[in-house]
Amino acid sequence: MITSFDGWEFLAGLGIFLLAMALMENSLEELAGRSFKKFLRQYTNHPVKAVLSGVFITIILQSSSVVSLMVLAFVGAGIIELRNAIGIVIGSNLGTTLTGWLVAYFGFSFNIESFALPFIAIGGLSMVFFAQQKRLHLFGQLFIGVGFLFLGLDYMKASISELANHFDISPFATYDPHWLFLVGFVLTAVIQSSSAAMVITLSALHADILSLEAAAAMVIGSDLGTTITVVLGGIKGVPAKKRVALSHFLFNFIVDILALIFLFPLLRFLTEVLGLVDPLFTLVAFHSSFNLAGVFLFFPFLGIFARFLEKRFDKKNQVIARFITQVPVEVPEAAIKALQEEIEHLLERVFRLNTTILGIDTHFLDKTKTKIDPIPNTTTQYELIKELEGEITEFFIAIPPQKLNQEEAAQLRQLTHSIRYAMSAAKSLKDISHNFLAFSKSVNDDLLRLVTIVVDNQQDWYRALYHLFQTSYQQIHFEGLADLKVQSKKNYNAYLEKVYSQVPFNRFTEVEISTLFNVNREIHAANKAMILAIKDLVLQDVQAQDFDDLPDAV
């Protein structure tokens, strides 16, 4: 029955599909300014609007999978709330049934993947020609993401086109109709399109290969099979995206199981009560009716359903913190000790992030106090650091202030300063990570030499700071941090002079000069923040104040 299967084309389609998800979500997150969010929320800020939006958008795009994947991206970017996202998802299930009506009336299905090339063309050209105009560049990224989404789905289906075109259903004709539910599920899960599965089923019904009951069961299976695409898009995402993917699966699963149970009564209602005679129209009416029933069934319980989902994939089940999770906040001594150890853990992660961005040899970090798995992706590292900051903040806010003595209260304030400085150090370098990526691709040898100077200086500086961080003597901390503060300022000033000395030779563009100055400034800011974070972590209150009174190096 299957004559060919191009595995590489399928995997390429899968790769393009996942890349599209990343491009769409990144661009949406950047573009989602206040007005854009307000616009989206205006049309999805009520469950009725959300459901109707899902219906009409899917009618236009004719792909519930694509609509659901877009919703995943919006939720992942924090633009749409979970409750309203669920409304869009259940509405999209009803909207996708229009394909069956079009096929029944006109004998063809509308292939949404044909939109891929215009989206890719517009998106790609926009990204190239508007590289210096951020919003247009991001819109281009969004367009190319949408195009890749269609293209990836198209590749996955095209790689097994022989399956879709030559799938012989006749051997299943004698089976109990309910067995065709599994056939529809597997077929749709493989070809990634319930619309294509509907066309196959309608063709088989029209040719009298399948009975109406068997075709109806197959349509129910394909309705569930289409959820695989969305589950695939959400499985690696943040908890919010996973919840939307789960909502899509649970909605379809419950509605489809009920449709399977009431298959024969519903078909009799359509044929005997409503008087439908044509089996093709009866089948598409059956498809629309059980999806419409699902909307009415779930709509009153959207709030309850959303609250149920919010308990799934809870961040408490994915805690990054190592030391504060098992310590009661009601015991100040234990809580503050755990907090100190957790901030050390936070700083370990910041050390690893910053040295990765700078391209520094990180072997000196192998003696870390807290075992941290290496993560080469700096964006992921930064997100984990932010999540850890949130967990630490929740912990220290929960410490009852009335149980703290004056010394403990002062110590807690100092530790909160350490957290803030650590995050500032991480953000300063995260903001220039793209500059180091651009430097690595530059063909300007003079530019690369200046970058090498920065990296070499920071290699020595971070190695010394980390060694100091690992020691346990407060006097050494004070003196060592003071020396490193002076050294960082000297490196900053020396580098400025080095860049200024090269400017008259016209070896750099104006943008490169500005970038070099900005990188130097952010590195120095990160260095100062790292010093202050360690100072507030390891020095006592009086020593910390004395350190703050030290003059900056000239």
Give residue-wise pLDDT tens across range 237-269. Answer: 667 677 878 888 888 899 999 999 998 999 999
193 and 266 in a single domain? The answer is yes
22 and 57 in a single domain? The answer is yes
CB 255 within 8 A of CB 291: yes
The reported pLDDT for the residue numbered 554 is: 43
Question: Averaged over 330-353, what is the pLDDT?
Answer: 89
The total domain count for the chain is 2
The amino acid at residue 232 is L
Question: Of 37-46, 190-199, 518-527, which one has max mean pLDDT?
Answer: 518-527
Question: Averaged over 539-548, what is the pLDDT?
Answer: 83
Q: Record the tokens describing residue 102, joined without a space.
A: 């079009």
C-alpha atoms less than 13 angstroms from C-alpha of 543 in its C-beta half-sphere: 18
440 and 308 in a single domain? The answer is no
279 and 341 in a single domain? The answer is no
Q: Which of 65, 119, 74, 117 is nearest to 95 (CA)?
A: 65
293 and 349 in a single domain? The answer is no
Confidence band, pLDDT 50/70/90 cuts, at residue 118: confident
Looking at 288, 316, 344, which one is the last position of a domain? 316
Q: Which residue has the higher pLDDT, 278 or 374?
A: 278
Question: Averaged over 308-333, what is the pLDDT?
Answer: 74
For residue 324, is it within any domain?
Answer: no
What CATH number corresponds to the domain at position 458? 1.20.58
Which range of residues forms the domain containing residue 172? 7-316
The reported pLDDT for the residue numbered 76 is: 61
For residue 87, is it within any domain?
Answer: yes
165 and 312 in a single domain? The answer is yes
Confidence band, pLDDT 50/70/90 cuts, at residue 372: low
378 and 488 in a single domain? The answer is yes
294 and 337 in a single domain? The answer is no
Asked whether residue 315 carries a pLDDT value surpassing 60, the answer given is no
SS3 377: coil
For residue 47, is it within any domain?
Answer: yes
The reported pLDDT for the residue numbered 519 is: 92
Confidence band, pLDDT 50/70/90 cuts, at residue 520: very high
For residue 323, is it within any domain?
Answer: no
For residue 326, is it within any domain?
Answer: no
Q: Which of 143, 217, 145 is nearest to 176 (CA)?
A: 217
Question: Averaged over 479-494, what is the pLDDT?
Answer: 92
The reported pLDDT for the residue numbered 346 is: 93
Question: Of 90-94, 188-192, 524-528, which one has max mean pLDDT?
Answer: 524-528
Torsion angles phi and psi, residue 179, rounded to 5 = -70, -25
206 and 180 in a single domain? The answer is yes
513 and 422 in a single domain? The answer is yes
Looking at 269, 287, 316, which one is the last position of a domain? 316
Question: Averaged over 90-110, what is the pLDDT?
Answer: 67
305 and 343 in a single domain? The answer is no
For residue 154, is it within any domain?
Answer: yes
Question: Averaged over 115-129, what is the pLDDT?
Answer: 87
The reported pLDDT for the residue numbered 164 is: 44
Write the burial class of residue 222 (CB in 10 Å: 0-12 exposed, 13-18 middle, 19+ buried): buried
The reported pLDDT for the residue numbered 470 is: 85
Q: Which residue has the higher pLDDT, 61 or 499?
A: 499
CB 68 within 8 A of CB 89: yes
Asked whether residue 491 carries a pLDDT value surpassing 90, the answer given is yes
CB 108 within 8 A of CB 62: no
Q: Which of 89, 70, 66 is nearest to 295 (CA)?
A: 89
From residue 194, how far is each of 97, 222, 266 by CA, in Å?
9, 5, 21
For residue 517, is it within any domain?
Answer: yes
Write the burial class of residue 277 (CB in 10 Å: 0-12 exposed, 13-18 middle, 19+ buried): exposed
Average pLDDT, the chain: 79
Asked whether residue 34 carries a pLDDT value surpassing 70, the answer given is no
Counting other chains too, the contacts that 204-212 makes at CB distance below 8 Å and 24 or more residues apart are 204/169, 205/279, 205/280, 205/283, 206/279, 206/280, 209/169, 209/170, 209/173, 210/169, 210/172, 210/173, 210/180, 211/173, 211/177, 212/267, 212/279, 212/282, 212/283
Q: What angle do CA 305, 307, 308 make, to 5 degrees?
A: 65
Query: Does the pTM of the predicted model rise above 0.85?
Result: no
Looking at 316, 341, 368, which one is the last position of a domain? 316
Asked whether residue 2 carries a pLDDT value surpassing 50, the answer given is no
For residue 327, is it within any domain?
Answer: no
415 and 537 in a single domain? The answer is yes
The reported pLDDT for the residue numbered 347 is: 93
Q: Which of 264, 198, 267 is nearest to 226 (CA)?
A: 198
The reported pLDDT for the residue numbered 532 is: 94
Asked whether residue 423 carries a pLDDT value surpassing 90, the answer given is yes
Q: Give one DSSP letter per residue of 258-306, joined into a string.
A: HHHHTHHHHHHIIIIIS----HHHHHHHHHHHHHHHHHHHHGGGHHHHH
The reported pLDDT for the residue numbered 3 is: 45
